[in-house]
Amino acid sequence: MPQRVATCSCRQLMLRTTEEPLRVSICHCHACQRRTGSVFAVQARFREGSVVVRGNATQYVRKGDTGQDATFHFCPVCGSTLYYQLDSVDGLIGVPVGAFANPDFPAPNISVFEECMHSWVVLPEGIEHMD
C-alpha cells in the first residue's frame, strides 16, 4: 500500500494515509470556493482507520450548501485545512488533495455542484458529473 503524507503550509500539522483513497472529487460549491480561496476544491476520501494525524488542529463546523454539516480541522498557526469529516458519512475523512503536494496523486473521478462552476473551467475527459 502506498503511504502518502499531507501537511499544512507550516508543516506542524500533518497526516499519513496508508491506503488508496476511496474517491477523489472536485467540488465547485460556493462554500468550498471560500474555504480554499480557489474556484473549486479537490479532495480525497479515506477510511478513518487508514489516516494518522499528528500536530495541533482547530475545528470549524460548517453548515453545508447541501444542508449537511462538515467539521474542518485546520492548523491554528498557518490556517490550512488539512482534513474534514462530514456528519452524513461516518468513518470517513476528507483530505484536500493539494495538501499532499504530489502531482502523481490519483486524478478526480467525480465533479459535483457544477451549477456553481466558473465558466472557464475545463474538466478532465470521462469524469462523472453530479449536481
Contact criterion met (CB below 8 Å) for 35 and 27: no
Residue 42 binds to Zn ion (criterion: CB under 5 A)? no
Q: How many CA atoms lie within 13 A of 51 on its CB side?
A: 21
Residue 6 binds to Zn ion (criterion: CB under 5 A)? no
Contact criterion met (CB below 8 Å) for 40 and 27: yes
# residues contacting Zn ion (CB under 5 A): 8
Residue 77 binds to Zn ion (criterion: CB under 5 A)? yes
CA distance 129 to 115: 11
Residue 32 binds to Zn ion (criterion: CB under 5 A)? yes
Residue 117 binds to Zn ion (criterion: CB under 5 A)? no
Residue 27 binds to Zn ion (criterion: CB under 5 A)? yes
Residue 51 binds to Zn ion (criterion: CB under 5 A)? no
Nearer to Zn ion, 26 or 51 (CB): 26
Task: Give the DSSP per-residue string, 29-95.
Answer: -HHHHHHHSSSSEEEEEEEGGGEEEES--EEEEEE-TTS-EEEEEE-TTT--EEEEEETTSTTEEEE
Residue 29 binds to Zn ion (criterion: CB under 5 A)? yes
Stretch that binds Zn ion, among 7-15, 45-53, 89-97, 115-123 (CB under 5 A): 7-15
Contact footprint for Zn ion (CB under 5 A): 8, 10, 27, 29, 32, 75, 77-78
